[in-house]
Amino acid sequence: MSSESHFSYINAMTENKCALIHYGELSLKGRNRADFEFKLIENIEKIAGGAVRRHRGYFIMEDGDPGLLGKVPGISWYAEALAVDNDPDSIIGLVRDEVGRMFSGPALSFGVFARRPNKKFPFTSMELAGMVGDMITKSYGFTARLRSPDISVFIEIADKTYIFFEKKEGLRGLPTDVSGRVLSLISGGIDSPVSSYLMMKRGCRVDLVHFHVYADNSFVERTKMGGIFRRLNEYQLGTRVFLVPYYPFESSLLRLTDIAGHELVLFRRFMVSVSEKIAAGNGCLALVTGDSLGQVASQTIDNMALVRQAVSLPIFQPLITYDKQEIVDYAKKMGTYELSIEPYKDCCSIVSANPKTRARRDRILEIEKNMSIRKVIDETLELVTLCQL
């Protein structure tokens, strides 16, 4: 798909412009399909602000901001289009005007890509493409070439005929709120914003929980974390963020000696335990973390198993098989990378001096007993605050 935009023309013609929206996996959903479609429509209207009409296999959005359709999970592709009656002369006339206005130059190549979901149209898609192609050659002297042409003319004949010159890729996945609510543990790093986003793309409503080093929860909003929360919120709106100070944990840990190398696993077990309680009280069915197998010392199978054993809720780890570069690419694409690399005083950087790659379970349980971990968890839960974006 071309990333270059040809859409200056859209502003010139207001009366029949619209956005054509196609969704992918939804069509696999059998009897639930209509529910999924209505949910997607609701999400599009909330995020992109237009009025959406439902047709068989596609939607049409009028008004709103088509640029925001790229932020709505569940859309496979979309296009800013011009709608015209299903009449060959009108179609050819509109393509002629638009191509003439948008493109000039002696040696341009073009391809016409027609589809005809509406079989009542009197010509096949091949026939229509041939007629439109002849017109372009005659009117402008351009050459037909189907492979990577300079100009792509897309024509979809449905309830009306939609003409467009660029297909934009959507996020794909499933619409927000069809898969249930989860609680995602988010740090100031690169990974967990991406794991949160990937869960959003699977139809989950993702609440966020962040553990921080400040004495006061309200301070977090003023750090880069505020920017990360808001960026993620663009994909689902109404995000709930739970903020948790980690000082009760830190001070109980400081009282102990001979725990060297175990801090990180202890901290991760503490975080999932607190998060599990928050999840239970707020309708979240699973926890999410940004672990990637073997990336750092806490992410060995042994240590992840020890963390997992601290709770009974499922822990989803969407990035478990991703390498760092793949995660960075995602973070750049969905817009959190630049925020994540800003300096930030994250709790992990404090507890992670020389972590053991293989903490011992008996030792971990003993330390937790010595630090009265249950009490620390309860004390921490008293300090949790919720803000809704």
Which positions touch ligand ATP (CB under 6 A)? 185-187, 189-192, 209-211, 271, 289-291, 295-296, 298-299, 346-348
The stretch near Mg ion (CB under 5 A) out of 27-35, 114-122, 187-195, 266-274 is 187-195
Residue facing Mg ion at closest CB distance: 189
First to last CA, the chain: 33
Which partner, Mg ion, ligand ATP, none, binds residue 291 by CB below 5 to 8 Å per kind? ligand ATP
CB of 348 to Mg ion, least distance (A): 5
- The entry of ligand ATP, Mg ion, none near residue 82 (CB within 5 to 8 angstroms by kind) is none
The residue (of 162 and 211) whose beta carbon lies closer to ligand ATP is 211
Tokens of 184: 């995602």
Distance, in Å, from the CA atom of 230 to the CA atom of 17, rounded to the nearest integer, reads 30
Among 84, 348, 359, 373, binds Mg ion (CB under 5 A): 348
Measured in whole angstroms, the distance separating CA 73 from the mean position of its chain's CA atoms is 6
Distance CA 340, CA 172 (A): 24
Between 47 and 306, whose beta carbon lies closer to ligand ATP? 306
- Pick one of ligand ATP, Mg ion, none as the site partner of residue 26 (Cβ within 5 to 8 A by kind): none
Q: Write the CA distances from 330 to 186, 194, 202, 320, 324, integer angstroms.
A: 16, 7, 15, 14, 10
Q: Which does 48 bind (CB under 5 to 8 A by kind): Mg ion, ligand ATP, none?
A: none
Per residue, the 3-state secondary structure of 88-150, as one string, reads: HHHHHHHHHHHHHHHCCCCCCEEEEEEECCCCCCCCCHHHHHHHHHHHHHHHHCCEECCCCCC
User: Whose Cβ is closer to ligand ATP: residue 210's or residue 262's?
Assistant: 210
Tell me, by CB under 5 A, how many residues bind Mg ion: 3
Position among 189, 193, 245, 248 found at the interface with Mg ion (CB under 5 A): 189
With CB under 5 to 8 Å by kind, the binding choice for 102 among ligand ATP, Mg ion, none is none
Residue 23's CB is within 10 A of a number of other CB atoms, namely 25
Distance, in Å, from the CA atom of 19 to the CA atom of 56, rounded to the nearest integer, reads 15
Q: Minimal distance in Å, beta carbon 370 to ligand ATP?
A: 23
101 neighbors 231 (Cβ within 8 angstroms) = no
Least distance CB 75 / ligand ATP (angstroms): 27
**Binding residues for Mg ion, per CB under 5 A?**
187, 189, 348
